[in-house]
Structure 1
Amino acid sequence: MTIIYRFRPMKYLIGDDGDNDYRELEKQELALSSPRYFNDPLEGYQDVFWEGDEVLWENLLRHYLLNLHQAAITCVLSDDEETLEEYAIEPKLTRGDLSTDERRQQFDSICQLFFEEKGFESVPSSLASLPEPLKRNNLKQILSVIHRSALESVLERMRGSGAIPEGWPEVTISGDSETVEDLLDAISAAMAGENEELLESVASLVRPLESHMYLQQAVQTGVEQIELQHKKCHFLHHSFPDRYIREITNSLIHTNWHTLCFAKECASPPMWATYADEHRGAALMFRADCQTDESWGKMDVSEGAGSEDSEPTSGEITAPLHAVDYESPPPEVDFFRFLGRLPLPKLESAWHSTPDGRTSQMMDEIVDDLDAWRENLWNHFHSMSTRKLRKWEHEQEIRMVLPDLLESEGSHRKVTYDMSQLEGIVFGLRTSLEDRFEVMKIISENNQDGDSSPVEFYEMVYDGKDFRKVKLNVA
């Protein structure tokens, strides 16, 4: 048995006045977090690369057009920022998911205009011919050059059907296929000269500069504030390529997941400052089983049982605990090979075959050994979900990772624990007398059944040299 620490602000442990949404200590709840809401925007970052044949590249561009069309429709119809943020890009969307024949026909017409009339039909072949895999920022740069022609194709077809209102911004400067081919030649030469890392670094600056130029132009034209219409315009005309790549890498490779964070120690002042309301909160001390061959340790929790609004979903879970790896680089992931979120039939029809009947050999490689493919996918998931940058190593984090196999994406997934697992509670340097009293009262009430071991109380002190916890219980 070993001890792990869970830092929390008091507003989550005991709730604010009249706030019944939290009260985690009373309910014996532990709230898990979704990567979308982590304080580290690079949490779960993967070094994704793209390497595939002409079929896969053509379908990536078709998928880009499909989501750009969806984004344009959302921008026309939505009147709130939340809809724009949550639904403008749908990574799992395929042509077969479109609800009407009219939508499918309009999408086919967009693809025909983009590939045939605007001359981008050779780009997939050029992408497939690159001597090295394409990294994230270089793909973003390529899509940024393609984007104006892609958006022009989408808006032209939507205007033809009367789906665009008057006054909607037009694409002022259209791209062309020759510019894209020139860029691909430059990238190919850089790869051959082993200068790809420099090219990737330069490409990472494109989106911030474009966003700044847009804002600078808005300031110069006398805009008083950034309103929803400005955000729609910026999204469609400038930030879509970056957002598209972020969404497909976050949503198409691995299932959604949530994590429950603990720490090995409680004597880190930055941890108290960051996660326990600047020392006004507390750290819960939990007993965890010791290390196994597969993990750092394990802990028993119950999923769904503590929610007042829902029935238990999966009952008791013996969940592994993993020590976060701060030393290893982000895991490398082959995007086309590990589209793990799509069912195989949809993967084959939407990504591994084209409307004219051409197919990719990669599908055969996957199907020939599905067990090995799934094992590699889960190995990538484990590496991704238990790895952070070295800058965070002061946290000495131990985490529980629960894949969201039921696709219940959200920020408020919860599990409960038994009081017998709670070893003690550590108060911070600034924890108020009232909050300590409330915590002690809740613990006393939760332990009235007499089945649980007494919970010990501690306080953090600074003795002029060390920051440490001292026991408060008096025999």
Structure 2
Amino acid sequence: MRKVAHDGRFPVTGTNNKFDNGEYIYRYRPINSEHLISEIQNNELYFPDRSSLNDPMEGQVRLNFHGDEIIWTNFLNNYALSVLWCAHVFAIDGQNPNFDKRFVRPDLTVEKLPTKEFQDLYYEFLNLLKEDEDYIEAKKGLHTRGSVTDIELRIHFRALHSAFTNILWALFYEKGLINHRSSTRNIRDFLPDGIEKHNLYETLNALEAEHPENHHKFKEALFAVQRQMFEELRVRSIYNIHIEHGKPHQAFSTMNVTFSDDYIDQLVATLYPDWSPVCFSRNCTNASMWGHYASGHQGICLQFKPTKNEGREYINFKNGTSIEVSDVEYGEAYPALNYFEHIGSSISVHDLIEYWLTKDGKRSCVYSKYFDNEDQWRDLYWKRFQQLSNFKFKDWKYENECRTIRRVMSDKDRLWNYNQQHLTGIVFGMHTPDDKVIEIIKAIAEKHYDGTLGEFSFYKANFSSQGNSMQIMEFQNMTKFAPKDK
């Protein structure tokens, strides 16, 4: 290391080459975080709940639904079971405004219902549905659609939901589970004039046949109008509920307005185990990143050096686990997959076969996707997981992000301690307050005194008017700490 300059100032270097060679990754940190010093002292990485991240589409996937009549029938029956479950919760605790989509259970099976009476109620409900025109139409129509997109499925299920709930509320009234009957308007009443309202499946099939080259544009326009109509209906319904009850009432909103969307959202949630990323960047010289993630250049940037093995990078943790560092892929469209071929990990093999892939002793065509070559299916399943967990829309490309990803079993399992060897430096922002600089240096000094510090440097970020870019300057002798007072 260089000696201290004669005037007592720490000499610095202004090159950015060290930060552009791919050897390091960086983690921007806000200066006002109450856990910042603990992160530095204890080598902590926190795996957050994805809902707390600033990109609401983390883990987004373009679902489509492609199967035969067997799996579509089982799908409709699963939806009916979930409607019954939530309606029962609503009937018991309908005055609780905190009823929300967590009660929507696409992983539910009739075997999991708590009592035989409850199971009998489901079969009675299902028998009533089998005589309903909308249910019969859906059962026949959905599997003729080929590949149904997420957006289209929401339209079909919104239309079906009013039929399902009207039948169910009548059954509940008959059984004495509720003291008044209620009804819900059919969402298809809100389709624009000129659109066939009685058999949307046939209308869409005809549209695709008549316009093979550009039917996607026509369908997109149709779905956009319907989505706008539904959103208006949803807001109006929630407003009316608010006026009636004097406060927002999530139970009414969920059961009568948003249930079908909540159900499909929960399908995505059951595709893969709950996962969480710790996010890094490949550079520490992006002014926007300093502004967004480091308290407007008042924060810091932690410099990490991953271990490398056969061309892959890893962060090693004190519990003996190593997690690979993967680069985020940026693109125009989120990964697509057929839901019926990737039914989530929360569903057991027994439930998968009994309630999804077979019906009356017959197997769905999707059955072979799972069981003809189970190893191949498993490899594809996790390959798709890697794709969706490391994908972001192109607007985020400026972040140049890489990340470590792991399953999170509970909130108590989110904080992990990495090996000290990975933390090799700290970059102070252009406006990091002096008192925070001193506090952070003291935290690193403690590591020096207890012999755990290893390779380490301090840096300062500045803006170069000559180069019109962020420049990182290294303090050459900052880690030559004076002996600790006894």
What interval of TM-score do these two structures reach, taking the shorter chain for normalisation? 0.7 to 0.9
* Contact kept? 1:7, 1:275, Cα under 8 Å: yes
CA distance change for structure 1 residues 161 and 221 in 2, over 3 Å: closer, same or farther?
closer
Q: Distance in 1 between matches of 2:372 and 2:326?
A: 32
In structure 2, which of residues 349, 352, 355 is the aligned counterpart of residue 344 of structure 1?
A: 349
In structure 2, relative to structure 1, the CA distance for the partners of 1:217 and 1:181 (3 Å cut) is closer
Asked whether the 8 Å contact 1:149–1:174 carries over to 2, the reply is no
Aligned partner of residue 43 in structure 1, secondary structure: coil
Q: State the number of aligned residues.
A: 445
Shift of 1:5: 0.3
Whichever residue aligns with residue 352 of structure 2, its letter is L
1:420 aligns with 2:421: yes
Between the two proteins, what is the percent identity of the paired residues?
A: 22
* Partner residue in 2 for 1:66: 81
The separation in 1 between residues aligned to 2:86 and 2:227, in whole angstroms, is 18
CA separation of 1:334 and 1:284: change in aligned 2, threshold 3 A? same
In structure 2, C-alpha distance between the alignment counterparts of 1:224 and 1:57, rounded to whole Å: 38
Which one of the candidate residues 97, 109, 126 is aligned to 2:112?
A: 97
Give per-residue Cα distances to partners, 1:227-261, cap 9 Å, x unaligned. Answer: 242x322222222222211110231x222211111
- 15, 23, 35: which one pairs with 1:2? 23
TM-score, normalised relative to structure 1: 0.85
Unaligned ranges ≥5, structure 2: 1-21, 190-195, 479-486
CA distance in 1: counterparts of 2:238 and 2:350, whole angstroms: 46
Q: Kindly tell me: are residues 452 and 92 of structure 1, through their superposed partners in 2, closer, same or farther at Cα, counting changes over 3 Å?
A: same
1:233 aligns to what?
252
| Aligned counterparts, 1:305-316, within 5 A | 315-316=319-320
* 1:42, distance to aligned residue in structure 2 (A): 1.7
Cα deviation, residue 216, structure 1: 4.1
| Shift, 1:197, TM fit | 4.7
Relative distance call for 1:63 and 1:142 in structure 2 (3 A) is same
Query: Could you tell me which residue of structure 1 aligns to residue 280 of structure 2?
Result: 262
Deviation digits for residues 29-66 of structure 1 (CA, Å, limit 9, x no counterpart): 10113333322122212121111111111111111111
Could you tell me whether the CA contact under 8 Å between 1:33 and 1:412 is conserved in 2?
A: no
Residue pairs, 1:137-152, within 5 angstroms: 137-152=151-166
Q: 1:299 aligns with which of 315, 320, 327?
A: 315
Shift of 1:335: 0.8
Asked whether the equivalents of residues 57 and 127 of structure 1 are also in contact (C-alpha less than 8 Å), the reply is yes
What displacement does 1:173 show? 5.1
1:217–1:393 CA distance, 2 compared to 1 (3 A): same
After the TM superposition, which residues 413-452 of structure 1 pair with which residues of structure 2 at under 5 Å, given as runs?
Answer: 413-452=414-453
Q: Distance in 2 between matches of 1:36 and 1:373?
A: 29
In 2, Cα distance between equivalents of 1:243 and 1:264: 36
Aligned residue for 1:277? Answer: 295
Q: Return the TM-score normalized by structure 2.
A: 0.83
Which residue in 2 is equivalent to 1:171? 184
C-alpha separation in 1, matches of 2:297 and 2:476: 20
1:290-317 CA distances to partner (integer Å, 9 max, x unpaired)? 4745x4x222124xxxxxxxxxxxx212
Cα gap change, 1:60/1:274 in structure 2, threshold over 3 Å: closer, same or farther? same
- Which residue is equivalent to 2:150? 136
Deviation of 1:369 after TM superposition, in Å, equals: 0.8
Give the direction of change, closer, same or farther, for the CA distance of 1:174–1:201 in structure 2 (3 Å limit).
Answer: closer
> Residue in 2 aligned with 1:391?
395
Provide the rounded CA distance (Å) in 2 between the counterparts of 1:397 and 1:67: 38
- Find the aligned partners of 2:158 and 2:241 in 1 and give their Cα distance: 25
Q: Which aligned pairs between 1:326-405 and structure 2 lie closer than 5 A?
A: 326-327=330-331, 329-341=333-345, 342-354=347-359, 356-404=360-408
Runs of 5+ consecutive residues of structure 1 not aligned to the other structure = 16-21, 303-314
Q: Could you tell me how far apart the structure 2 residues matched to 1:461 and 1:453 are? A: 26
8 Å CA contact retained: 1:429, 1:460: yes
AA matched with 2:464: D
Counterpart residue identity of residue 185, structure 1: E
Give the 3 Å change call, closer, same or farther, for CA 205–255 of structure 1 in structure 2.
farther
CA 285–13 in structure 1, closer or farther in 2 if over 3 Å, else same: farther
Q: Distance in 1 between matches of 2:338 and 2:104?
A: 22
Q: Secondary structure at the match of 2:340?
A: coil
1:319 counterpart residue number: 323
What is the distance in 2 between the residues matched to 1:92 and 1:191?
A: 33
Match of 2:174 among 154, 160, 174: 160
SS in 2 for 1:271: helix
Higher Rg: 2
* 1:308 match: none
**Equivalent position amino acid for 1:164 in 2:** I
Q: Does 1:467 align with 2:480?
A: no
- Residue pair 2:341, 2:369 contacting (<8 A) in 1 also: no
What displacement does 1:420 show?
A: 2.1
Superposition CA RMSD, Å: 2.9
CA distance in 2, matches of 1:88, 1:216: 23
1:190 alignment counterpart? 207
Call closer, same or farther: CA 1:277–1:162 in 2, change over 3 Å: farther
* Equivalent pair of 2:61/2:336 in contact (CA under 8 Å): yes
